[in-house]
Chains A and B, each alone.
Chain A
């Protein structure tokens, strides 16, 4: 039987969760999220020109890191953090000291459900992460731990405990997350379909993970959430979250962790230019044809019992198998190793929390 965590109340987890937001402009969008985010600590990763001042609405507790901070904290290892691309957000995951991370883009706003009620996306992500995933057998009524649902007939009782949930992947109303070719063909299409479901992506199945509205258990899967080398000086963009998602899923499958997708929805307001996107993505469109079979067939050694070990093994496979596709993958594989080194450096026990250099680092309520 599916038992949901205590009746109606979802724990806030306000001391256990960081909200990571990459940005190059101001963060006025936070005003709309205030009722839902105000109690949480924000980690803002400022991309682009570090001398630009980012305006954060009053009353939020945050730490802001710009490129100077990234370079200072990581030294030479900073090379693995992308510049001029929202992939830089994974620096926020690295320096966080909390158990859970929620990341959201600065053009994502509060959505409404079909009844008109505002959706507390963070609360839904927390619910998703705190309840098990059903990785081994698909439940046709979707998440059995949701109120009003349960396992269906035929679902073995021994599988009903599920697996710990490592990642919660939310969706988007209004501007859907399409690639550039689809955007060019369907510039007017808007996602208006509210699908009232959360479900587990089954073991052995890959999916495109979008970083716009994502939460994860940093302790369970953090080191696998590297968003790759994108943007300035790189041949590709808009594949940061995809890359992280494929690596993450292979590792979750190997370690017996679960990934959920579906609710919550946010309202995605800005459609980026499909022409700019096409230039960024176009190599990815060809490369993903090679990358997907690679991820579908890669197998990690049984000895890899930690995320770090899995990730390093995966980096080795990327170098040897995808290196032939393009030298970029060799660079990427090296960056994956650098990332793990950086992760261990920053997160080793006894390490002081990474401080920012800016005086406005933490604003008081």
Chain B
């Protein structure tokens, strides 16, 4: 098995040399359909093996997890979740949202989170893509949200800022979140995937770019990384659809979470990047079957997006927690009466902030 390791050794030795605690923690939510993680972990082994891995088991999953040997890992299940947060708030961590528990209990600076139906992808030259190394690179290089660079990431090898890019903006800001993409099964909603049943994403776009300030983007939770210390509390397990299911296109929790993160980043002057790395998302589920359920999530977006586009955070909100509390209050006030799912989301956000302060902060 060949894999690209170009950046990685360099980074690893840098970590050792400078004694920076920048080790990452891939956090893996598992799905009800998949208790056997053997293939997943083995495929990712070259990229994961030197990092601490947290596996959080969906509380609804009854079977024992099968995990291969040789990893530095911690596994959490329902009993652990109940013990740490209490059974009343453990409801936050069901289904895909179990991953947020991993974010909560991690004590590392960076987190990488990958859905368990994703495997390493190959680039157009045939080399394995080291998604971990790429996410690290995205997070440790500045973001440029205040002016769009037409050659995309100016810090990439062989690229730079173009003519006309103000020099005072070329230092960039800290990148707090890195959103990767997906080859094969892209992250479409159920109606789109059902209509284009055979469409698979084969286009490898060789770019990383900063999402401009004040622009919102649907952040998929399938392949992301973030600096826990910078924005941890902003990734909120809040929007739980009444009919939330076990396929990604039956959820919206990550989209909601991503909108919160982007609002907070824009307010605090942090950056969000999108683009590389790609992972290979395996075929799963039947979008037409999902269509037979309510298109609840799809319909909710019509109200959610205008809401987030109009949210304004007060200048006094200077920490991530304060920002999230402000957003939660705005949700309750402006969306709460529209649909009970929003009132629940607002409460969940406030519960999450409390949890973060009691459990999440390093002690």
Q: How far is B67's CA from A185's CA once the two chains are assembled, in angstroms?
A: 51
B86 — which chain A residues lie within 8 A by C-beta? none
Asked whether, in the complex, the Cβ of B163 is within 8 Å of the Cβ of A191, the reply is no
B151 neighbours in A (Cβ, 8 Å) = 171, 176, 191
A204-B214 contact in complex given A148-B199, A153-B255, A292-B166, C-beta closer than 8 Å:
yes
Contacts A202-B215, A288-B166 hold; do A197 and B161 have CB atoms under 8 A apart?
no
- Give the CA-CA distance A202 to B213 in the complex, in Å: 10
Q: Which residues of chain A have C-beta atoms less than 8 A from B196's C-beta?
A: 150
- Confirm or deny: B127 has a beta carbon within 8 angstroms of a beta carbon on chain A: no
**Beta-carbon contact of B192 and A178 below 8 Å:** no
Q: A137 with B217: in contact, given A210-B162, A289-B166 (CB under 8 Å)? A: yes
CA distance A242 to B188 in the complex (A): 36
* A234 CB-CB contact with B under 8 Å: no
Chain A residues with CB under 8 A of B192: 1, 150-151, 153
B212, A195: Cβ atoms closer than 8 Å: no
What is the CB-to-nearest-CB distance from A46 to chain B, in angstroms, rounded to a whole number? 25
Residues from chain A with Cβ under 8 Å of B302 in the complex: 156-158
Q: Which residue of A lies closest to B170 (CB)?
A: A182
Is B158 in contact with A191, judged by CB distance below 8 angstroms? yes
Interface size class of B (residues with CB under 8 A): 35 or more
Which chain A residues lie closer than 8 Å to B248 at the CB level?
A: 153
Of the listed stretches A52-60, A76-84, A138-146, name the one at the interface; the rest are far from the partner chain: A138-146
**Chain B residue with the shortest CB-CB distance to A160:** B192
Chain A stretch 200-233: residues in CB contact (< 8 A) with chain B: 201-210
Interface bits A288-301 vs B (CB < 8 Å: 1, else 0): 11001000000000
Give the nearest-CB partner of B209 in chain A.
Answer: A199
- Does B181 contact A154, Cβ atoms closer than 8 Å? no
Q: Is the CB of A137 within 8 A of B163?
A: no
Bound form: Cα–Cα A205–B214 in Å: 8
In contact, A114 and B124 (Cβ under 8 angstroms): yes
Chain B residue nearest to A209 (CB atoms) is: B164
Main secondary structure on B side of the interface with A: loop
Cross-chain contact B147 with A210 (CB below 8 angstroms): no
Q: Kindly name the residue among A186, A196, A209 whose own CB sees the greatest number of chain B CB atoms within 10 A.
A: A196
Contact B162 A177 (CB under 8 A): yes
Kindly identify, within residues 196 to 225 of chain B, every residue whose CB is under 8 Å from any CB belonging to chain A.
196, 199, 201-207, 211-220
Of B150, B167, B204, which contacts A261 at CB under 8 A?
B150
Interface flags for A143-183 (1: CB within 8 Å of B; 0: not) read: 00000111111111111000000000101000011110110
Partner of A207, one of B150, B188, B207, B304: B150
Report if B187 contacts A (CB, 8 A): yes
Encoded as 1 (CB less than 8 Å from any A CB) or 0, chain B from 175 to 193 comes to: 0000101000011110110
Q: How long is the Cα–Cα vector from A338 to B130 in the complex, in angstroms?
A: 56
Given contacts A156-B305, A195-B152, contact A140 B202 (CB under 8 A): no
| A156 and B301 contact, CB distance less than 8 A | yes
Chain B residues whose C-beta falls within 8 Å of the C-beta of A176 in the assembled complex:
151, 159-160, 162
**A8 CB-CB contact with B under 8 Å:** no
Once the chains bind, are A242 and B206 in contact (CB under 8 Å)? no
A152 adjacent to B220 (CB under 8 Å): yes
Q: Are A153 and B249 in contact (CB under 8 A)?
A: yes
A239 within 8 Å of B (CB atoms) = yes
Determine the chain B residues whose CB is within 8 A of the CB of A191 once the complex forms: 151, 158-159
Instruction: Check if A189 is an interface residue, CB within 8 A of chain B.
Output: yes
The smallest C-beta distance from B204 to any residue of chain A, in angstroms, reads: 7
Q: Return A163 CB to nearest CB of chain B, in Å.
A: 14
A193 CB–B CB distance under 8 Å? yes
A245 interface residue per 8 A CB criterion:
yes
CA distance A43 to B286 in the complex (A): 54
Q: Are B217 and A196 in contact, with the CB atoms below 8 A?
A: no
Q: Is A33 an interface residue (CB 8 A)?
A: no
CB closest chain-A residue, reference B202: A148
| B186 close to A141 (CB less than 8 A) | yes
Q: Are A245 and B164 in contact (CB under 8 A)?
A: yes
A153 touching B220, Cβ below 8 Å: yes
Cβ of A285 within 8 Å of any chain B Cβ, yes or no, is yes
Q: Is B148 an interface residue (CB 8 A)?
A: yes
Given contacts A154-B255, A193-B206, contact A208 B162 (CB under 8 A): yes
Q: Is B274 an interface residue (CB 8 A)?
A: yes
Q: Mark B126-154, 1 if CB is under 8 A from A, else 0.
A: 00000000000000000000011111100
Chain B residues within an 8 Å CB radius of A178: 160-163
B215–A292 CB distance below 8 A: no
CB-CB nearest in chain B for A148: B203
Task: Please measure, in the bound complex, the distance between the C-alpha atom of A176 and the C-alpha atom of B156, giving whole angstroms.
Answer: 14
**Contact residues in B for A242 (Cβ distance below 8 Å):** 163-164
Quick check: B220 and A140 within 8 Å, CB to CB? yes
- Bitwise, A327-351 to B at CB < 8 A (1) or not (0) is 0000000000000000000000000
A36 — which chain B residues lie within 8 A by C-beta?
Answer: none
Q: Are B158 and A189 in contact (CB under 8 A)?
A: yes
Could you write out 11 A-B pairs with CB less than 8 Å apart? A1-B191, A1-B192, A141-B201, A193-B206, A205-B213, A207-B147, A208-B150, A208-B165, A210-B150, A288-B164, A292-B147
Q: Which 7 A-B pairs have the closest CB atoms?
A: A208-B164, A154-B218, A154-B255, A207-B148, A202-B215, A205-B212, A138-B217
Q: Which residues of A contact B (CB under 8 A)?
A: 1, 114, 136-142, 148-159, 169, 171, 176-179, 181-182, 186, 189-197, 201-210, 238-239, 241-242, 245, 261, 281, 285, 288-289, 292
Given A140-B220, A153-B192, A242-B164, 4 other A-B residues pairs in contact with their CB atoms under 8 A? A193-B158, A239-B164, A241-B164, A289-B166
